[in-house]
């Protein structure tokens, strides 16, 4: 084997220009495929990041009344029954699910009245949060402090504001220590929080802007234990779970949905209510399929150059067999078997295409980086794809080098020696 590889390199080096031109089709084909596949992979990752945020593995489980989401502020017109209450046992079961890092259960209102002196906070959201909310949603304390357990146990009227709400309500003033009114009840602001960029989905369309417009205006948060004090009534809680990875988001959301719906199905007067998990990963997969199906056509087009390159390898190997007829005859005359001759020429074809494949991979990586810089399209290089490309180029050598190798192995030694 090693002797065959040495002879292959020797033959390639002795005909450098011819060997390079033979490899050119392989180089172009592999480089094109690597560049296209890298762009496909990069685009798929970008789609996922744009929809769910980089590192944000949270899944929202929404309450539906019939076919419509339940309006937390105004209730629902679909059913006259009271919305379901999430029990402590359901909360514990969701928190104990496999692949769940944390879960949070909270109230929200977009129509609540929030005032500071003569300033009214309009367009934002008020949340009644539990102790897991900040961690699950990816919030960090910017100034002051977050809520502590005693705030919940003692029903303290304390509040947090995010950086957007702090700017909209207080301007350049520091919010910490100021008193605001939430639902006509006084609350003291104890901290300013901000959401890390990794947990914020990117906004690229008008619909996405409308969906996250409340986040742009800002949020005010109070302990969920004081929510009935400020709003004088209970509401159904929102549910958000954080999965340990993006790939587990769908299964975690479905499992949480099943737990929440179990209690509802046992109550006949609440049969219209149901919880449904937001399947963002399904959106991601659909968009990725659309992107990949378009780019698959480009891969097939690039594969044509590999076919042309393979035909070139077959052609040059036939020429090589013709040029080395006497050498083959001499080897067979001194006892070389067919499989030895076959192995020699197959090895030479495989080495030729493998070198072309390696050069094509390097060129493809460079090309993908250039395309990314020029067009702004994201790219992602995968090691398995690189290894697969080199192996594929070697297989091309074996397939297209088979005919010339068989021809060489079947030469009659007398005729071969007489060819001089």
Domain that holds residue 168: 106-236
Backbone φ and ψ for 187, nearest 5 degrees, come out as -130, 135
Composition of the chain by helix, strand, coil, percent to 5:
60, 20, 25
On whether residue 190 sits in a domain, the answer given is: yes
Can you say whether residue 218 is alpha, beta or left, with left for phi > 0 and alpha for psi between -120 and 50 degrees? left
Does residue 289 share a domain with residue 229?
no
Q: Is the pLDDT of residue 308 over 60?
A: yes
Of 236, 257, 277, the one marking the end of a domain is 236
CA-CA distance, 242 to 101, in Å (whole number)? 6
Start-to-end C-alpha separation, the chain? 28
Does residue 121 share a domain with residue 23?
no
Does residue 123 share a domain with residue 47?
no
Does residue 406 share a domain with residue 309?
yes
Give the C-alpha distances (Å, rounded to integers) separating 140 from 51, 75, 146, 176: 22, 32, 9, 15
CA 361 to chain centroid = 24
On whether residue 171 sits in a domain, the answer given is: yes
CA-CA distance, 101 to 241, in Å (whole number)? 8
Tell me the H-state helices in 376-412.
383-400, 402-409
pTM above 0.75, yes or no: no
Does residue 403 share a domain with residue 289?
yes
Number of domains present in the structure of the chain: 2
CA-CA distance, 190 to 226, in Å (whole number)? 15
Does residue 394 share a domain with residue 302?
yes
Kindly report, residue by residue over 328-349, the tens digit of the pLDDT: 666 766 766 777 777 777 787 8
Q: Contact 341/9 with Cβ under 8 angstroms?
A: no
On whether residue 86 sits in a domain, the answer given is: no
Does residue 213 share a domain with residue 121?
yes
Does residue 207 share a domain with residue 110?
yes
Give me the pLDDT at residue 180, please. Answer: 93
Average pLDDT over residues 71-84: 61
Does residue 140 share a domain with residue 215?
yes
CA-CA distance, 124 to 219, in Å (whole number)? 6
Q: Is 107 helix (H, G, I), strand (E, B) or coil?
A: strand
**Three-state SS string across 237-294, please?**
CEEEEEECCHHHHHHHHHHHHHHHHHHHHCCHHHCCEEEEECCHHHHHHHHHHHHHHH
On whether residue 155 sits in a domain, the answer given is: yes
Average pLDDT over residues 242-260: 87
Mean pLDDT of the chain: 77
On whether residue 369 sits in a domain, the answer given is: yes
Instruction: Identify the DSSP state of 180.
Output: E
On whether residue 274 sits in a domain, the answer given is: no
Kindly report, residue by residue over 125-146, the tens digit of the pLDDT: 899 999 999 999 889 999 999 9
Q: Contact 401/349 with Cβ under 8 angstroms?
A: yes
On whether residue 96 sits in a domain, the answer given is: no
Higher pLDDT, 56 or 98: 98
Does residue 409 share a domain with residue 290?
yes
Does residue 209 share a domain with residue 130?
yes
On whether residue 346 sits in a domain, the answer given is: yes
Say which residues have a Cβ less than 8 Å from residue 12's Cβ, sequence separation at least 6: 19, 348, 351, 352, 355
Q: Which residues of 97-106 are buried (b: 16+ CB within 10 A; e: fewer)?
A: bebbbbbbbb
Of 236, 257, 272, the one marking the end of a domain is 236
pLDDT-based confidence at residue 210 (cuts at 50, 70, 90): very low
Of 175, 210, 236, the one marking the end of a domain is 236
Does residue 156 share a domain with residue 215?
yes
Instruction: Identify the DSSP state of 71.
Output: B
CA-CA distance, 66 to 76, in Å (whole number)? 10
């Amino acid at each position: 084997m090693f002797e065959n590889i040495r002879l292959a390199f020797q033959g390639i080096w002795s005909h450098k220009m011819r060997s390079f031109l033979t490899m050119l089709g392989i180089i172009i084909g592999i480089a094109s495929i690597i560049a296209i596949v890298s762009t496909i992979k990069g685009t798929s990752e970008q789609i996922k990041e744009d929809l769910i945020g980089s590192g944000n593995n949270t899944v929202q489980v929404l309450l539906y009344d019939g076919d419509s989401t339940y309006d937390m502020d105004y209730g629902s017109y679909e059913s006259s029954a009271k919305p379901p209450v999430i029990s402590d046992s359901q909360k514990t079961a969701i928190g104990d699910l496999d692949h769940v890092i944390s879960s949070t259960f909270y109230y929200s209102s977009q129509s609540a009245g929030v005032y500071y002196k003569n300033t009214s906070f309009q367009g934002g959201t008020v949340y009644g949060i539990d102790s897991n909310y900040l961690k699950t949603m990816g919030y960090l304390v910017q100034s002051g402090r977050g809520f502590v357990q005693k705030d919940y146990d003692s029903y303290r009227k304390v509040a947090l504001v995010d950086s957007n709400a702090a700017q909209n309500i207080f301007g350049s003033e520091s919010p910490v220590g100021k008193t605001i009114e939430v639902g006509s009840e006084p609350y003291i602001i104890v901290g300013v929080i901000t959401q890390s960029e990794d947990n914020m989905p990117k906004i690229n369309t008008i619909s996405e802007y409308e969906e996250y417009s409340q986040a742009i205006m800002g949020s005010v948060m109070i302990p969920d234990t004081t929510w009935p004090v400020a709003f004088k009534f209970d509401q159904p809680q929102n549910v958000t779970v954080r999965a340990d990875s993006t790939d587990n988001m769908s299964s975690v959301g479905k499992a949480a949905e099943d737990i929440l719906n179990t209690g509802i199905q046992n109550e006949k007067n609440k049969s219209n209510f149901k919880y449904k998990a937001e399947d963002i990963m399904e959106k991601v997969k659909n968009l990725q399929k659309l992107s990949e199906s378009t780019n698959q056509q480009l891969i097939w087009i690039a594969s044509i150059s590999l076919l042309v390159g393979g035909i070139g390898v077959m052609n040059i190997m036939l020429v090589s067999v013709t040029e080395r007829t006497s050498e083959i005859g001499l080897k067979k005359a001194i006892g070389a078997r067919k499989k030895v001759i076959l192995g020699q020429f197959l090895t030479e074809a495989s080495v030729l295409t493998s070198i072309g494949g390696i050069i094509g991979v390097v060129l493809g990586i460079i090309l993908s980086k250039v395309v990314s810089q020029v067009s702004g399209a994201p790219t992602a290089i995968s090691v398995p794809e690189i290894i697969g490309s080199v192996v594929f180029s070697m297989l091309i050598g074996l397939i297209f080098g088979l005919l010339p190798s068989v021809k060489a192995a079947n030469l009659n030694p007398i005729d071969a020696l007489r060819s001089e």
